[in-house]
């Protein structure tokens, strides 16, 4: 069989097998007493998220880097679309669950954390880690589906960063977390109306500034291919989706995941495994005061839990679907990276893990799910993260990487 025909067959059969496997696994989980519908939902929602990430290249680092270095506004506008769509989705849910936010009650399970200076440290470290490693944690996960050989290095570094964060946790907890207020905008503003107007206005202002300072280059009408079944299939399965589709999809999926289970996040399982590993090796403290009671991507090991946590199933679905999308689109192209980039990926991964641990989440769990929940903590993390990315990019340029 010619090589090109073999490659074409591989691009079709492997994604179909993976998607069939995900469907079969979801069906089995649904009927399992240990996992049930929650496990099935976690796997399938992770798969949808993985496809969105890979097809639209939904990546906070990529968007910020392309805006800072190339003035391409489209990726950042896609990220802001995710914040806006998710905010609207969360507001609908909050209105049903907590009709009177000014009464003092917080919505259950939402990632509304203490708004303290630890988020400045964690966000800056995470942003710098993104710049050094080349992606945030969620993007490293979906790039496994594109054959990235730097992603496993960065994820291994992140495990070490989590352990470093566990050893620093008591200091941050005593000096920052316990003294920080939990600021939920609807409660502070005295209702949803003002909070929604303020948050959506801020997102709109940011979008306007990005649009004015950047460039948005639509495809000239003469360059657009004719609309046929073949070009439609190519647009769906081969070419990258527009950034706004990934953004709106991620925002709405985040609201749906929150409605059915817990807020969107990808670091809980990595943190849990790092915590178990650190405890087993004796390099992590046995006691982490207050950690497991805070809102965010929890790293605890609940008693009586199944072998795979919901977040583990979510990540498995994400990676498997990203592999299917990456192979099917022809984006699965493993390349051997030069050793300086491997070193940067490892160092950046450590910063990613440390920042995630201190901030109780990453760009998905703390930034996206936090901002969508109208939590001040999400905005603080986002601002610090931007500073970290900008600093990290300057460092990379200085060392020629």
Mean per-residue pLDDT pooled into runs of 10, the chain (401 residues): 62 90 95 92 97 94 94 96 98 95 90 96 98 95 94 97 96 95 95 96 98 77 64 78 95 96 90 92 90 80 73 96 93 91 97 96 94 97 98 92 72
In a domain, 225, yes or no: no
Buried b (16+ CB within 10 A) or exposed e, 207-241: beebeeebeeeeeeeeeeeeeeeeeeeeeeeeeeb
Compute the distance between CA of residue 207 and CA of residue 106 in angstroms, rounded to an integer: 29
pLDDT of residue 1: 47
pLDDT of residue 222: 47
In a domain, 224, yes or no: no
pLDDT of residue 49: 97
In a domain, 141, yes or no: yes
In a domain, 222, yes or no: no
In a domain, 23, yes or no: yes
In a domain, 38, yes or no: yes
Instruction: Provide the 10 A C-beta neighbour count for residue 68.
Output: 17
In a domain, 37, yes or no: yes
Note the Cα 314 to chain centre separation in Å. 12
User: In which domain, by residue range, is 94 found?
Assistant: 1-102+113-216+233-399
Orientation of helix 268-281 relative to helix 310-329, angle to 10°: 120
pLDDT of residue 220: 52
User: What is the tally of structural domains in the chain?
Assistant: 1
In a domain, 288, yes or no: yes
Compute the distance between CA of residue 326 and CA of residue 385 in angstroms, rounded to an integer: 28
pLDDT of residue 290: 87
């Amino acid at each position: 069989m010619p090589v090109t025909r073999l490659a074409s067959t591989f691009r079709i059969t492997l994604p179909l097998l993976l998607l069939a496997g995900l469907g079969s696994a979801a069906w089995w989980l649904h009927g399992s007493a240990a996992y049930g519908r929650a496990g099935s939902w976690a796997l399938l929602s992770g798969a949808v998220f993985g496809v969105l990430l890979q097809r639209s290249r939904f990546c906070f680092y990529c968007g910020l880097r392309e805006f800072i270095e190339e003035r391409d506004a489209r990726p950042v506008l896609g990220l802001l679309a995710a914040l806006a769509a998710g905010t609207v989705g969360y507001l609908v849910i909050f209105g049903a669950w907590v009709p009177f936010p000014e009464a003092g009650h917080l919505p259950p399970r939402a990632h509304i954390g203490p708004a303290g200076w630890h988020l400045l440290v964690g966000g800056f470290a995470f942003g710098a880690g993104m710049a050094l490693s080349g992606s945030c944690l969620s993007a490293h996960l979906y790039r496994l589906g594109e054959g990235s050989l730097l992603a496993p290095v960065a994820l291994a570094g992140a495990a070490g960063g989590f352990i470093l964060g566990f050893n620093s946790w008591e200091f941050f907890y005593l000096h920052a977390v316990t003294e920080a207020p939990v600021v939920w905008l609807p409660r502070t503003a005295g209702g949803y109306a003002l909070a929604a107007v303020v948050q959506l206005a801020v997102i709109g202002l940011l979008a306007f500034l990005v649009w004015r300072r950047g460039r948005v280059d639509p495809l000239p009408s003469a360059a657009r291919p004719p609309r046929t079944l073949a070009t439609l299939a190519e647009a769906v399965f081969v070419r990258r989706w527009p950034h706004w589709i990934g953004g709106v999809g991620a925002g709405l999926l985040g609201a749906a995941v929150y409605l059915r289970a817990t807020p969107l996040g990808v670091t809980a399982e990595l943190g849990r495994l790092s915590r178990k590993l650190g405890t087993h090796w004796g390099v992590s403290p046995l006691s982490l005061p207050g950690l497991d009671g805070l809102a965010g991507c929890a790293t605890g090991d609940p008693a009586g839990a199944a072998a795979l946590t919901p977040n583990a199933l979510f990540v498995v679905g994400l990676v498997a679907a990203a592999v299917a999308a990456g192979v099917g689109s022809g984006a699965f192209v493993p390349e051997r990276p030069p050793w300086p980039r491997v070193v940067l990926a490892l160092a950046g991964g450590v910063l990613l893990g440390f920042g995630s641990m201190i901030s109780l989440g990453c760009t998905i769990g703390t930034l996206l799910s936090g901002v969508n929940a109208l939590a001040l903590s999400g905005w603080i993390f986002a601002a610090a993260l931007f500073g970290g990315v900008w600093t990290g990019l300057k460092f990379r340029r200085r060392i020629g990487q």
